[in-house]
Amino acid sequence: MPSRLSPSHSSSSWQSAARRSCAAHSAASSRPSAPSARHGASQPGAAAAIAAAAASGCAAAAGRGGGGAAAMAGAELAAVDEGLYSRQLYVLGCRAMERLAGAAVLVAGLRGLGAEVAKALVLAGVRAVTLHDVASAGPADRASQFFLADSNMGQNRAVASQRHLAELNSHVLVTAHTGELSESFLASFQVVVLTDSPLEEQLRIGDFCHSRGICFIVADVKGLAGQLFCDFGKPFVVCDPTDTDPVCASVQHISQGKPGIVTCAAGEEGRGHLFSDGDMVTFSGVEGMTELNGQKPCPVRVLDAFHLEIGDTSSFSPYRCGGLVSQVHLRQERLYEPLRKALVKPKIQVSNPEDLPRSRSLHMAFQALHAFRKEQGRLPRPRAQGDAERVLELARSLDEQQGPLDEQQSPLDEDVVRAFASVSAGDLGPMAAFVGGLAAMEVLKAASGKFLLLDQWLYFDALECLALEGAAQLTEEDCAPSGSRYDGQIAVFGADFQERLGHQKYFVVGAGAIGCELLKNFAMMGLAAGTGGNITVTDMDTIARSNLHRQFLFHSADISKPKSEVAAAAVKCMNPDIKVTAHQNQVGPATELIYGADFFKRLDGVASALDNLETRAYLTNHCLRYLKPLVDSGTEGTRGNVLAMVPHVTKALGSASDPVDKTFPLCTLRHFPQTIEHTLQWARDEFEGLFRLPAENVNRFLADPTFLEHLEARKALEVLEQVRRSLQERPRDWQDCVHWARRHWQSCYHDTISQLLLTFPPEHEASPGVAFWSGDRRCPHPLTFDPDDDTHVDYVMAAAHLFAQTHKILARGDRAAARESLRNLVLAPFTPQEGLQIHIMEERQEVQEAVDQGQLAELAQELARWRRELVEAEETQIPIMEPIHFEKDDNFHVDFVTAASNLRAENYGIRCADWLTSKRLVGRIVPAIATTTMAVAGLACLEIYKLVWGCQDRSCYRNSNLCLSDSLLLCIQPLPPPTYRYGQKEWSCWDRLEVQGVGADGQEMTVRELLEWLQRVHGLPVTMLLHGYTVLYDREQDEETRAQQQAQRLSESLEGAGELRPRELELQYVCEGEEDEDEDACPPLVCYLP
């Protein structure tokens, strides 16, 4: 399951600094949610999502005859395996995915980094991946190369990896090449990626690729530092430079002037527009000033939150109403220098200008390392001071030769170069995962023309790990290789640390995309691979086909199997020594008997990869309660973050809950929709009201008609009328289902709208001089059914299919036959309903009329006779109907909702949504791509290294926000835990009071003894003592009651309240003078009962 982003304290500052394009979005605020079945409003952004889909080539039904939902958003989507790539499609778009599917990529170097890059590309769905390596696999390669097993030792690394990679995606051709990288061989690729290659080879191939317009990428990881270089030629066209949805706003007014002033309507919660100066925009749906519709993009200037300045509108027609102003993301051209030039005059991309000196020092360090390797024929020995000093000498020499890039350039940071060189022989799986995710994302950009490309160098390091207490004292002997699969990790952290890793007990919550990557990294690290070690992984989900493009531990044969079990078995194959226990449990109050005090106390740490913020908050509270470190990870599309929570060192992760759906007024949904979100919600409710609720009520009535006795009269009448209608409409065959769907189409999109316009004609006035159809009320128009209109037929086919399913009738897919039947079907003309009341207020004001008890009794008797006939009939199968629950991955379900929503949007002149956008909104689908999950899991495991080391230095930890679409990474120190005071004592959220609950008589402590202990030891005059909602002591009670309370043993009151006697009792208390709002002024109290 894709995981949601968790908000961190750094997000807001980064968003303001980097505007919309590089902000680390919170899933609770940045992506539009789907409408819910309880009239829940999605978040703002659906119109923008539609505009984005149109820009990416996914737009399907844009009004009448728009291509058809059943055709799955047109030819572009038909060319892409939507069932497999649906979550990635929301990241890249259809056209980018099509371009991706035509790309051939070479990945040279199949150690850990190369394997990570190749894995991501195969999962993403490029046309072909060729693996190149000339070396044979050895034990040390298994430090990060997860495709290599003991049986592969001595084999060529590319050949050994080919079969595993080919199994990940049948759409991708994966081959191995062990020969020379000749120019004739290289010419057949669109993108060439070199990993773990000598500088001479990089320069030779880089020159050739630049001359032929082949996109060229160098990726390298040495110990705790990584390097990435991109050369995409001159020029390279970026078709769609951003991953943010285009901004859009509804138009309220446009002035005639030079310049013209656009007044934007207020959005959700009264917010203004989100445009910025210089944004390019287009207009659509404007009535009156129609000259603006379809014009080329023009720039805007922001006047305030609701007003924009555009060009000259003085000669245009007067504005009347309606319209949408939408941002347009224009193509961009980028120029790149070849590697040979870029080495000397590097353009290094950083998220923070303060990081540039460090990155420039790493730029020199990597060049110096190449020179050292050429000179010595090897990498520097781990922790060998002489070798590190030689690399530093070479870096100084190179720095002097190349000279400063500008007058402000900082001098070489010799400590960085020395630290880099001392562990450059290291090979760490988390580093390979992070840099591999970034490198693979640049390949996808190059192959698809989507997102801004890296310009041109990027450096990353986690050298803060060397500042861990005791790490600096490691010797060459401590880090010497021993022929182990962990030699690459021992080279950085030493043999003793490797043994400590093996003893760890970790809890992994979530075995989806991030969970799979975490488990893979743990297997490479050897976490829980030693005596006493164990990883418990839990996930309730089973594997779906849509998981396979980013959850690489799963294959097609695993569909419908438990994620946790399959993931655990897969990582055991990667490292047979790792101990993994798989559960299929949710983490929450219902499983506290499993994941309670005893379980958490045995743990060394917790890693969460959740898509549920409520569960995340619950897990955070438990880690806080039991003083366990937590590393929390989340992704959404190309964005991700990692947050570390360390007992007594960092602030606890903020509590969060799933975003609450805003509610749409019923009258808005029924009569006055304004956005596609409204029509999608209406369509989603239609689905429930047509295909689930009627079937459930019919089945309940036939099984047990007495259930109506438990309903209030009005609800009982409503259910009975629905049951009668369902039984009257029972179809005999498929054609009956088609005719029912056609009649329902007529009712929804013609008759109901015609009735509304009879009640409130287009010229109707709400008050003298004030048009009724104005402001947020769009005047609708009825539709006329056209059997040649794809959207009309899409609706009928989807509705008929679902109606047939509810009535257990075999559906047919003959579209041509259905069209012919629809042409010949004659419906009764629309008959207006006299005296029909249409409620237009936001809140219903009408008084409920009393139910006619005679009518209710008569209807109940009629249906009772009908029930007897059905139950007694031999051919009747009970239950007679099949309720259908909406499933976002069922195409017929999405077909119906998309067509139903778009037809209603056409009624009201609202811009329609394509099939993919509709699916995302109603299914609450979080965009996801493998590259982001790889990178985030790599960052998370770097924090776990620090936790296993036992680091208590906050400056060593990092909270990270990642935006791969812009190649940006922001790493900051976590905040310290806040403190609070009571009297002269200071506490943090990590503190708690602990007492052995044994009294002077050797028995369980009484309440009086506990109160005296709190006063004597901690100086806390307690006025109230509680366990949850059970009051153990209250000073406000009368003297007799207080005496009784104080005399009781601690657990006596709990037993009286029906609670089981616990071994540990967590109590809350209020102290004298403590304000109500200072509920955290004192730490929790834990009593250990005898």
Q: Which residues are catalytic?
A: 667
In this structure, what is the dihedral angle of CA atoms 115, 119, 120, 121, given to the nearest 10 degrees?
A: 100
What torsion do the CA atoms of 770, 772, 775, 776 make, to the nearest 10 degrees? Answer: 160
The sign of the torsion formed by the CA atoms of 901, 906, 909, 915 equals: positive
Q: How far apart are CA 516 and CA 27, in angstroms?
A: 21
Tokens linked to 103: 């790309």
Give the Cα separation of 602 and 585 in Å (integer). Answer: 18
- The residue type found at 281 is V
d(CA 857, CA 601): 62
Q: For residues 457 and 217, what is the distance between their CA atoms, to the nearest angstrom? A: 10
Strands (E), 479-548: 505-509, 534-538
Residue (of 719, 738, 677, 643) closest to 960 by Cα position:
643
Going from the C-alpha of 707 to that of each of 16, 699, 711, 712, 773, the distances in angstroms are 57, 11, 7, 11, 44
CB of 49 closer than 8 Å to CB of 245: yes
- Residue by residue, what is the 3-state secondary structure of 44-91? CCHHHHHHHHHHCCCCCCCCCCCCCCCCCCHHHHHCCCHHHHHHHHHH
CB 506 within 8 A of CB 527: yes
Q: Are 578 and 572 in contact (CB under 8 A)?
A: yes
DSSP state of 354: G
Taking CA atoms, 187 is separated from 121, 184, 209, 210, in Å, by 19, 5, 8, 11
DSSP letter at 562 equals B
Contact status, residue 199 vs residue 367, Cβ threshold 8 Å: yes
Distance, CA of 793 to CA of 820 (rounded, Å)? 11
The conformation of residue 156, written as its DSSP 8-state character, comes to B
> C-alpha angle 1076/1079/1080, rounded to 5°?
150
What Cα–Cα distance (Å) separates residue 785 from each residue in 381, 749, 821?
A: 78, 9, 13
CB atoms within 10 A of CB 418: 17
Element (H, E) at 607: strand 605-608
Written as six digits, the tokens of 542 are 């089973």
**First-last CA distance in the chain:** 43
Tokens, residue 734: 């498929």
* Residue 1060 DSSP code: P
Query: What does the DSSP assignment read for 1018-1057?
Result: H---EEEEEETTEEEEETTS-HHHHHHHHHSBTTHHHHHT
Rg of the chain on CA atoms, in Å = 33
Q: Look at residue 114 and give its three-state secondary structure.
A: helix
* Residue 943: count of CB within 10 angstroms of its CB: 31
Contact residues for 516 (Cβ-Cβ < 8 A; gap 6+): 551, 552, 553, 554, 567, 933
Residue pointed to by tokens 């998981």: 547
DSSP structural state of residue 317: P
Is omega for the bond preceding 235 within 30 degrees of 0, making it cis?
A: yes
Supply 646's token pair.
């360390």
